[in-house]
Amino acid sequence: MKSNLTSLCVILACLAGTAQAQPYPSKPVRMIVPNAPGGLADTAGRLVAGKLSEALGQQFIVDNRVGAGSTIGTQAAVRAAPDGYTLLTVFDSHATNPHLFSKLEYDTLTDLAPISLLVRGPMLLVATPKLPAANVQEFVKMAKAKPGAINFLTVGPGSPARLFMELLKSSAGIDVTMISYKGAGPAMADLMSGQVDVMFGTIPTVGNLVKSGKLRPLAITSEKRSDFAHGVPAINETIPGFRAEVWVGMFAPVKTPADIIARINTETVKVLATADLKARFAEQGLETVGSTPAQLDQWLRFEMDRWGKVIRDNKITLE
């Protein structure tokens, strides 16, 4: 009996060792997106999740946890088990939320482990065709001649469109008036009709309107001219040093094992380098990145510092 018991213990120990040695991932992985379906983080998350599912042989399932400016979903990821089976895909609001909310239930820098910067892309500064400015240089000249007379639209006080304009105002030394809208439909209608003068918009949002002549492109926010908007000058050409982009990054709960972080990073970088994924993102006006965890951490800290100053200087809040 003792011999049989010993043999059983050995078998159980071997089975336990085999279970522990199963390669990651051995079951489906949940990818939390703290934003609504169809948005930037959701689109990027779904494209990458599909490719990771193919590459790793397990389903990467997008879980939209919407609410409170993306903080509810982020908090859910922070509280998840740090075992590699919960990931978080966020866009640029992740860097601005610590400055827009008086209190968060998590620490943006210490409660999440960076994996990779997935994509980034510029926005276009566009104007109603009724505005007598052909480029950002003429726009700045007009704004300086009549402070406050030109207005710009935003949908949301902490949106990239608002923050990019605040950065442009301070960088160029101009004063333009903000007009806030609750919905994108009325906002775009008023811009095209000339009720509002200018706005910053993503390539998918304003690209077709520019092509049809309903909006006029003044400049692009990338460091230099981009294939996403042929012939449109960069703001950096008129205001040296100006660069602002929307972006999406992938994170995990902070105590996720380093070898799992490394595995996800390696596979993510590989899929982002594929021609078809590059093409899919290019359709959205985004370029794939595929960074190291350290590079994403550095990027996040830079974005937090830069936009934190803009938010404080302009006393912007969501509450």
Q: Which CATH number covers residue 130?
A: 3.40.190.10
Residues 252 and 232 in one domain: no
Q: Mean of the pLDDT values across residues 84-110?
A: 96
Judge if pTM exceeds 0.75: yes
Q: How much is the mean pLDDT over the chain?
A: 93
Q: What pLDDT is attached to residue 7?
A: 52
Cα 170 to chain center, whole Å? 23
Residue 223 lies in a domain: yes
In this prediction, residue 184 carries a pLDDT of 86
Query: Are the beta carbons of 313 and 143 closer than 8 angstroms?
Result: no
One domain for residues 274 and 167: no
**Among 192, 226, 187, which Cα is nearest to 208's?**
192
Same domain membership, residue 250 and residue 226: no
pLDDT of residue 201: 95
Please give the tally of structural domains in the chain. Answer: 2
Q: Indicate if the pLDDT at residue 17 is higher than 50.
A: no
Question: What integer pLDDT is reported at residue 239 of this predicted model?
Answer: 96
Q: Confidence class of residue 318 from pLDDT cuts 50, 70 and 90?
A: confident
Same structural domain for residues 131 and 225? yes
Averaged over 6-13, what is the pLDDT? 51
Give yes or no: residues 297 and 149 share one domain: no
In a domain, 221, yes or no: yes
Q: Please tell me whether residues 211 and 162 are part of one structural domain.
A: yes
CA pair distance 148, 164, nearest whole angstrom? 17
CATH number for the domain that contains residue 72: 3.40.190.150
Same domain for 297 and 160?
no
Mean pLDDT to the nearest integer, 32-41: 94
Region of poorest pLDDT, from 10-24, 55-69, 130-144, 189-203: 10-24
Strands 86-91 and 112-127: unpaired
Of 238, 267, 301, the last residue of a domain is 238
Assess whether 227 and 280 both reside in one domain: no
Q: With bands split at pLDDT 50, 70 and 90, how would you rate the model's confidence at 6?
A: low
Could you report the per-residue pLDDT of 227-250, keeping only the tens digit for each?
999 899 999 999 999 999 999 999
- pLDDT band at 319; cut points 50, 70, 90: low
Looking up tokens 């620490």, which residue turns up? 107
Pair 231, 143 in one domain: yes
Q: Which domain, by its residues, includes 177? A: 122-238
Q: Are residues 169 and 260 in the same domain?
A: no
Asked if residue 61 belongs to a domain, the reply is yes
Answer yes or no: is pLDDT of 18 > 70: no
Task: Please give the structure tokens belonging to residue 70.
Answer: 């993306």
Same domain, 218 and 142: yes
SS (H, E, C) the chain: CHHHHHHHHHHHHHHHHHHHCCCCCCCCEEEEECCCCCCHHHHHHHHHHHHHHHHHCCCEEEEECCCHHHHHHHHHHHHCCCCCCEEEEEECHHHHHHHHCCCCCCCCCCCEEEEEEEEEEEEEEEECCCCCCCCHHHHHHHHHHCCCCCEEEECCCCCHHHHHHHHHHHHHCCCCEEEECCCHHHHHHHHHHCCCCEEEEEHHHHHHHHHCCCCEEEEECCCCCCCCCCCCCEHHHHCCCCCCEEEEEEEEECCCCHHHHHHHHHHHHHHHCCHHHHHHHHCCCCEECCCCHHHHHHHHHHHHHHHHHHHHHCCCCCC
Q: Is residue 17 part of a domain?
A: no
Beta bridge partners of 287: 120
* Domain final residue pick, 214, 238, 262: 238
Indicate the pLDDT class of residue 183, thresholds 50, 70 and 90: confident
Same domain, 127 and 224: yes
| Residue 141, pLDDT score | 97
pLDDT at residue 2 greater than cutoff 70: no
Q: Does residue 289 register a pLDDT over 50?
A: yes
pLDDT higher than 50, residue 19? no
Kindly state whether residue 261 falls inside one of the protein's structural domains: yes
182 falls within a domain: yes
Give me the residues paired with residue 88 across strands: 32, 251
Domain boundary among 197, 219, 238: 238
Confidence band (pLDDT; 50, 70, 90) for 182? confident
Residue 23 resides in a domain: no
Q: Does residue 12 sit within a domain?
A: no
Q: What is the pLDDT of residues 292-315, one digit of tens each?
A: 999 999 999 999 999 999 999 999
